[in-house]
Amino acid sequence: MKLFLEYDEQHTGGDICAGEESDPWPSHDDAYIHWTPTRLLLHREDAQNWHIEELDVGDEFEKADKAHLVVVTYSDGDTFGHTEGHWAIVGVFATRSKALAIAKKLDATEGKSHKDYRPWEGYFSRYTCADVHSMDIE
């Protein structure tokens, strides 16, 4: 089954550091991603936003059910800059208790307990935390 998550995302910071404007390889100030889930939909055609994430979910959901998203926040960057607030959805669950247990395990292992692809593991990447977002399905 698939669900469709609408979200808002704003980026701030990331400007070229003062005094390096004419440098061919300038460093950048830290950047931040501010992410907010707004709606969880059964049907993509109900979306009203350009920012949509398609989610494969194991549990079956119907309209008006409550779903609980486990979202990992992490930082990433390179030699020239750093960004906080990247995010990845690691699961959607029918019960809040299961979602909280998974988020707690992720935090205890800094994300290493997740079996699938972990974008927070890399030379410049760092796990920040796991959060649970509970949303009604529209």
What is residue 88's three-state secondary structure? Answer: strand
| Helix, strand, coil share (%) of the chain residues, nearest 5 | 10, 50, 40
- Check pLDDT > 90 for residue 79: no
pLDDT band at 58 (very low <50, low <70, confident <90, very high): confident
Domain boundaries, the chain: 2-19+28-136
Instruction: Quick: pLDDT tens for 63-73.
Output: 999 999 999 99
Sheet holding 31-41, edge to edge: 52-56, 2-13, 31-41, 81-93, 66-78, 126-136
- Check pLDDT > 90 for residue 59: no
pLDDT band at 138 (very low <50, low <70, confident <90, very high): very high
Of the candidates 47, 69, 61, 67, which has an alpha carbon nearest to the alpha carbon of residue 1? Answer: 61
Task: Please give the pLDDT value at position 133.
Answer: 97
Instruction: Quick: pLDDT tens for 82-106.
Output: 999 999 999 999 999 999 999 999 9
Averaged pLDDT score across all residues of the chain:
94
pTM: 0.88
With beta carbons less than 8 A apart as the criterion, state whether 77 and 101 touch. no
Neighbours of 100 (CB within 10 A): 16
